Amino acid sequence: MAAAEAEDGQLSPRASLSHGKPLHPGTANRQISFMDERRGKTPPKRSSRGRRSVSQSSTDSYSSASYSGSSSEEDDVSPREKHQTNAKGFSDFCVKNIRQAAFGRREIEIAEQEMPGLMALRKRASGDKPLQGAKIAGCTHLTAQAAVLIETLVACGASVRWCACNIYSTQNEVAAALAEAGYPIFAWRGETEDDFWWCIEKSISNEGWQPNMILDDGGDLTHVMFKKHPHMFGMIKGIVEESVTGVHRLYQLSKSGKLTVPAMNVNDSVTKQKFDNLYSCRESVLDALKRTTDIMFGGKHVVVCGYGEVGKGCCSALRGLGAIVCVTEIDPICALQASMEGFKVVTLNEVIRQVDVVITASGNKNVVTRDHLDRMKTGCVVCNMGHSNTEIDVDSLRTPELTWEKVRSQVDHVLWPDGKRIILLAEGRLVNLSCSSVPSFVVSITAATQALALIELFNAPAGRYKQDVYLLPKKMDEYVASLHLPAFDAHLTELSDEQARYLGIGKAGPFKPNYYRY
């Protein structure tokens, strides 16, 4: 379903994916407003204070009588108000607490052991430095796995500045470890709306440093640079984007003729769709739900909204634990796939009063509306596995007649006047990265794909890529897969000359045409 376009060809701020109507009247003129659509209502800004030291203790105020504003455990002192330096006096960063660096470094080392493909790429590429001269502005989930990617890019010759694409997915200790290593990192868990955009600005602009490459997850950094720093945007050599949301924005720019640089759509590469989206979600959705709710899935009625690769992974995992799973879909092909796998395809209205768990995985908006929420039975768990938090209408729950109770970090009870309560996870944000973590091995596949896309765009001769959006070449997809096969002691069969001629392909690949559906 195509998104609404603004007059300038951009995806309109607060635009509905179906109707293009603003979510909140009177706010459409804000210069940067995608975050309200993706992350819900803007938390209240902190009062102005002087800069504090890193040793100041934190407090967590919360009132159970009304909406709390956030379920995160926020320090009362913003990292922006602290003066921090690493052991070498470096201060071009903003993280929660630099003293957590040692702990974060150990987490990064654990991730490295489970990311063999990316580490192999680092070893192979660090000699000839294919990213020498690249200045990469990055906006991704700031996790241990992302740290391995960042340090791989630096080992390949790049310089970086980095921020987080989600206000709740940052691992503070990992951000501290990267800052301690001397990287300009601007991210912490529980950022406010204002913090989020401030961090993006800090990752873009710095005296004496101007990015020439973008690695984005969601399109927010690309959007800010396009809207606020057009002179910088025009000097970018390439953009690599890995999310449905960000890719959609790039196609909107391309369609309107305003995309002035080549971009690589990593989200639709085989190694992203068939591994990260499917296998990562198959494992991480259960981890997130178990950690937050301690729920037993045997016999529970679960509805998964969307049967793309993410939905397929979620359904497979939930059925494996004995849950009774049904699916909602708009696409007849995906619906037929779900049916052939034995899942009942329904509309949400048919089952909303009976289900125990609702999981959105569609990439759309307002999939779960206030009307649905009103009709859910008490104790229903509601969460989102899509990249953006537009799928659940969380804003509709921030009203005086409903009470929010914080249960634990990223877990809220929302209480109705009659005593009914639902359990909302991560305020509708990406539940696996907000409430748990994802398997490092699968992230290694995606991260290697991102690194290769950056190398390809940065080193491509003039004219190879126009001002358009491209899929990752199939040969690179196959190379990424080959980097990970040794971990399984897998041995590929080699074609004979006769077999290669018969199939009409090279002995070294690529082995499938671009239209092949894995």
- Whose tokens are 């990469």? That residue is 136
Tell whether residue 217 is among the known ligand binding residues.
Answer: yes
User: What is the C-alpha separation between 328 and 118, in angstroms, rounded?
Assistant: 36
User: What is the C-alpha separation between 279 and 281, in angstroms, rounded?
Assistant: 5
| Cβ contact 274:294 at 8 Å | no
As a dihedral over the C-alpha atoms of residue 47, residue 402, residue 19, residue 262, rounded to 10 degrees, the angle is 40
Tell whether residue 299 is among the known ligand binding residues.
Answer: no
Query: What single DSSP character describes residue 80?
Result: G
Tell whether residue 329 is among the known ligand binding residues.
Answer: yes
What SS3 state is found at 130? coil
Tell whether residue 143 is among the known ligand binding residues.
Answer: yes
Encode 294-310: b = buried (16+ Cβ within 10 Å), e = exposed.
ebebeebbbbbbbbbbb
What angle in degrees, to the nearest 10, is found between the helix axes of 101-113 and 440-459? 90
Tell whether residue 298 is among the known ligand binding residues.
Answer: no
- Whose tokens are 């793309």? That residue is 308
Phi, psi dihedrals of residue 69, rounded to the nearest 5°: 95, -30
Full DSSP string of 172-184 = HHHHHHHHHTT--
On the CB side of 450, how many CA atoms lie within 13 Å of its CA?
30
User: What is the C-alpha separation between 362 and 312, in angstroms, rounded?
Assistant: 11
Tell whether residue 237 is among the known ligand binding residues.
Answer: no
Q: In what order do the strands lie in the sheet with 469-471?
A: 185-186, 159-164, 135-140, 213-216, 238-241, 263-265, 469-471
User: What is the C-alpha separation between 487 and 352, in angstroms, rounded?
Assistant: 43
User: What is the C-alpha separation between 189 and 167, in angstroms, rounded?
Assistant: 6
| Cβ contact 141:440 at 8 Å | no
Tell whether residue 312 is among the known ligand binding residues.
Answer: yes
Tell whether residue 463 is among the known ligand binding residues.
Answer: no
Annotated binding site: 143, 217, 242, 272, 276, 308-313, 329, 432
Annotated binding site for NAD(+): 308-313, 329, 432
Annotated binding site for substrate: 143, 217, 242, 272, 276
